[in-house]
Amino acid sequence: MAYVLGIDTSTTATKAILVADDGSVAGEASSEYPYETPQALWAEQDAGLWWTAAIDSIRAVLAQTAASGDHVKAVGLTGQMHGLVLLDEFDRPLRPAILWNDQRTAAECEEIRAAIGRDRLIATTGNDALGGFTAPKILWVRNHEPDIFARARHVLLPKDYLRLRLTGEYATDRAGAAGTILFDLAQRDWSQPVLADLGLDPAWLPETFEGPAITGTVTAAAAEATGLVAGTPVVGGGGDQAANAVGAGAVREGVAALSLGTSGVVFVTTDSPQIEPEGRLHAFCHAVPGKWHLMGVMLSAAGSLRWFNDELAPEVPVADLVASAAEVPAGSDGVLFLPYLSGERTPHPDPLARGAFVGLTVRHTRAHLVRAVLEGVAFGLRDSLDLIRETGVAVDQVRASGGGTRSGLWRQILADVLEAEVVALGTAEGAAYGAAVLAGVGAGWHASVEDATEAWVTLNDRTEPSGTDYSEANERYRALYPALRSTFHDIAATTD
């Protein structure tokens, strides 16, 4: 048998999947780990956890499938974006990695805008300075931990630390590198002017590669640790959302990838770099060579339903809650839910935004609240899709993945609110599967990523818009954040 291996280093676990040369998933294994929140708005993780979890997951999936290391022809990497891994001259992490969901860097974001100019920053990198990105984290360490900053010699993203442990090479993919906002989006490489303006040493940054390009091979030491064979190629891979889009076959214009997990993402491929002038969308390179993408992110999507279940109806299975919402008419009889339980990124980059139910009366039931949560998340995703459409990128199909898409009701609400066909995918493996697709191209099994997704990606249930009109409810939803913003900030000032 011949396989490729996809490895996804996420915030909570590292997953390894084996994919056969016909695109079928032969096996998968996952190893979990925690992250720390030592102060309010902080999120950190020990980089060593990723390597230990990768070893465990790789060995487990090989054992599960009775495969040996020499059956694996290439490895693809993906994982959480934007995290900061600072290494010393001996490749030792100098401090816990600062993660994508860390929000300590508001002052550093202003420092970046002042040094570069906000308009020039967006025009060059495709993005405004936001707390989740890598660049402000580097400046935070320089401002607050100067002794650590003085010892730094290398900057890596989380999955690229795993690449270093596998191959001994400093390398990154261009999709992930674009998420640092140290990247020239059009040129698909590090921006020397941005680095100069911020006073950062270009020698700290790894070489960049396209997603299917070979970045190195498994070392003898890594082979002994993992059960892989020394010399196995490791390809560039992609940041988790770019890899997820590859796994969904969203590799051409017109097809959007929608991820409905804890957070929610709307992702579209573009044939040239497209930038939302206000920086409300993320514009990054794709893991597909010569392609780019636009992406909107909401921080609490299916996480909103999980919160409701855990805190307000813990005795009720989530499937039963969703089923009860089917008895409520579209629009939830006037109840609206604002899903900003963790702050927000698109279209309101505001860590102090808050969640809210609006329009409640004594006649409303728990089922109304559940449906309002489902609709509120859909409205939040519609915000991103509308911004994408305003750039001139058409979307005629949405390929949906994530736990929330298992609900037929939620898929129908999404199709109606987004006004697009929603298609469920044949595999639930997401980013790890996309990393395996990129490895398959790197191994020479397919001539291009587009060819690989055409051959391997399968589609299941298709949900067409039913004709239900959500326009009025959507306009009411959009009015909520501007009306409540000052209240949210007042609350944050007195409670955070």
Which residues are known to be catalytic? Answer: 240
Tell me how many degrees the CA angle 208-120-199 measures, rounded to the nearest 5. Answer: 60
Amino acid at 306: R
Cβ count within 10 A of residue 235:
30
The token pair at 209 is 């590669």
Distance CA 407, CA 83 (A): 32
- Contact between 168 and 136 under an 8 Å Cβ cutoff? The reply is no
Residues 6+ apart with CB under 8 A from 326: 409
- Contact between 295 and 241 under an 8 Å Cβ cutoff? The reply is yes
- Contact between 239 and 284 under an 8 Å Cβ cutoff? The reply is yes
The token pair at 485 is 């913003």
- Contact between 191 and 226 under an 8 Å Cβ cutoff? The reply is no
Cβ burial 247-274 (10 Å sphere, 16+ → b, else e)? bbbbbebebbbbbbbbbbbbbbbbeebb
Instruction: Give, for 48, the enclosing helix (H) or strand (E).
Output: helix 48-64
- Contact between 93 and 48 under an 8 Å Cβ cutoff? The reply is yes
Distance CA 401, CA 246 (A): 12
Distance CA 422, CA 464 (A): 7
Question: In terms of Cα–Cα distance, which of 381, 154, 173, 203 is closest to 289?
Answer: 173
The token pair at 302 is 């299916």
Q: If DSSP codes are grouped into helix, strand and coil, which group holds residue 130?
A: coil
Q: What are phi and psi of 37, to 5 degrees?
A: -125, 75
Characterize the bridge pairing of strands 356-358 and 336-338: antiparallel
Residues 6+ apart with CB under 8 A from 150: none
Q: What are phi and psi of 295, to 5 degrees?
A: -145, 130
Tell me 398's DSSP state. Answer: E
Tell me 96's DSSP state. Answer: P
- DSSP assignment of 367-413, as one string? HHHHHHHHHHHHHHHHHHHHHHHHTT--EEEEEEESGGGG-HHHHHH
Cα-Cα end-to-end distance for the chain: 55
Question: In terms of Cα–Cα distance, which of 374, 367, 357, 364 is closest to 320?
Answer: 367
